[in-house]
Amino acid sequence: MTYSFIKFNDEIVDSRIMMELTDLARLLFKDKNVTVSVRKFSYYHPSENIMNLSMFWKHRHDISEIDGFKHDIYTRFAQKFILDYAKYEQMRDVPVLLEQIFLSLEYYRTRRYAFSVRPLIKALVSKGDNILLKSFNKPAKNDADLLVRQLNTAVINNTSTLSFAGQTFNIICNSTDESIAAAKSIFNALTHLHSLPAYQHHEMPFNEIAEYIAETPFRKDSSSLESGSEDDSEPYRNIDTKTDRDADDASLLGEAGDNNSQKSRHNTDNRYDDDVSDFTEQFGSNAGTNQISDEHSTNQFATLEEIAPKIRLKNYSKYRELFDKYNDTTNRIVGEMNQVLNFKQNEVHKNRVSGRLLKNPTSQIINDSHKLFYKKDAVSKEFDAVFTLVLDQSFSMTDYIEDAVEGIIIFNNILKSLKIEHRIISYHEDSFEVMDKEYPNKIYTHMDFSRSLYYYPISLLDIEASGDNRDGYILAHEIPLLDSLDYSDKFIIMFSDGLPSAENYNQSGVTDTHEAVNHAVRKGINIINIFIAEESDEATVSAIKNIYGTNTLIVKKAEEIPLVLPNLLNRILKSLIM
């Protein structure tokens, strides 16, 4: 499996890490749709179904980034199961100090739950806990900050009480109601801290949860830690992710952890250099199970409309000019392919143990060989292959559309001449029509499989670049179409000039596209990316190559496309028959 890198705010983020973390989160959350993201603080966002990981673990030398992120997942996955978000309305718009006390107590509950249902987690988070203890033991900015720091120190040390300002408080809570009561008790007992500024150590989007909870019923809080067992989440057990296929029956995290550790290790020093305290990197997946909309959080608001573009009569003459322009190239490639096919069909295999007897087997008899026969191969003159050509027509492709179209026309002429069925589409996300929860994507079908041997994609000449490119979403639509066809070899040729970019897709798009490519590979479909790298830096080129692996053709200048594509197709076709 190849892996990609995400370029974001001038840093390179290893998306292999994010994909491994996504698998771990889906295992523990028992939810195939949960995604992971990186923010300033760690918390599970229930309305978005995202596990946010803390930037605290980036740029460190005392723990690897992936181990730090795993610490957040291990200690917070229980938030989905035991927190009663409906009660969080009571903590909305309260003083920051009271909020931080409450969130610290709820964090303690999720840690205790995790340790109780997955005993090995306690050992797995010990290194991260020691690092957090050092952070909380740093000098406080005032007494209010000192209270929160000491409370979190007690949480990590698994103590049952907190002593502060001559008072002792119980910090063991078994429900959200108890956490609210305990937080208010501590806050009201320490009135001298009310006038001091409080500082954030935990985060929770109270306003968004309040708005969402009015429409969506959440899992209610368990009355006690003991009753909140994994049996309650049995409906999630049949969800199939990479990790839970091996760990579905595991009662301890140990088996899942071992499985996860076999996939990859990331023990190198963090090499990133971002200084933006509140940026979000969001990563997700698109299984492509729905051609109209996608339930996964990455593309949950994306919609897809497939359009058959009209053909303008004035473009016939222009298409004829392009056809004639590259006719010699087409004839050369087709001639070479027919020669190879004729040779394969008439090739004589000698020295066989079955078939027709050689006319002069003397040498074989003298050498005491039993290979006295020959046979002609009966190879079909037709290719058992099918292609889909996919053209990114987003705005960034403005200067490259014309050259890409010429390359596709050559492809079409060659495939048509060799009687190879193919589909030609272009796509974009209509950025002018994007709304808060609706991201309209459009596919323009210039040629479908059934018509590809008889018609020409003249509508390609009317393409106008606009909008954005949600690459993984489009691939997820095309892969099932190819998979349903009965051919031995299946290819998607994708033309683009950069990384995926669309509404709420800039960061997660790389992982989404990467997973779509891997999904195609598992289906036996080869995806080849024709990447126009005129204005791309080295990091972007590296990211593209890692998304598509070795099936990446870098084109330095768009005008080279009509020259390099025939050779690419020549190599592909020869590989199918040699």
**Cα–Cα distance measured from residue 284 to residue 509, given in angstroms and rounded to the nearest whole number:** 8
pLDDT of residue 539: 76
pLDDT of residue 16: 67
Helix (H, G, I), strand (E, B) or coil at 306: strand
Average pLDDT by consecutive 10-residue portion of the chain (578 residues)? 43 65 91 86 90 91 93 94 92 94 96 95 96 95 95 96 94 96 96 94 90 64 42 35 36 38 36 33 36 59 92 90 90 85 57 51 53 48 87 93 93 91 95 88 95 92 93 95 93 91 79 88 94 82 84 88 87 81
pLDDT of residue 105: 97
Helix (H, G, I), strand (E, B) or coil at 484: coil
pLDDT of residue 355: 55
| Rounded (10°) CA dihedral 305, 310, 315, 316 | 120
Residues whose CB falls within 8 Å of the CB of residue 55, separated by 6 or more in sequence, listed in order: 38, 39, 40, 277
Rg (CA), the chain: 30
The DSSP element (H or E) to which 25 belongs, if any, is helix 15-29
pLDDT of residue 74: 96
**Cα–Cα distance measured from residue 255 to residue 246, given in angstroms and rounded to the nearest whole number:** 8
**Cα–Cα distance measured from residue 137 to residue 481, given in angstroms and rounded to the nearest whole number:** 58
**Cα–Cα distance measured from residue 501 to residue 394, given in angstroms and rounded to the nearest whole number:** 9
Q: Cα–Cα distances in Å, from 409 out to 312, 328, 375?
A: 17, 13, 40
Q: Which amino acid is at 574?
A: K
**Cα–Cα distance measured from residue 500 to residue 472, given in angstroms and rounded to the nearest whole number:** 8
pLDDT of residue 23: 87
From the centroid of its chain, how far is CA 531? 19
Structure tokens at 181: 């009561």
Strands (DSSP E) along 180-301, which ranges? 281-283
pLDDT of residue 334: 87
pLDDT of residue 222: 43
Helix (H, G, I), strand (E, B) or coil at 366: helix
Closest by Cα among 345, 95, 109 to 196: 95
pLDDT of residue 271: 32
Closest by Cα among 412, 440, 467 to 301: 440
**Cα–Cα distance measured from residue 274 to residue 22, given in angstroms and rounded to the nearest whole number:** 22
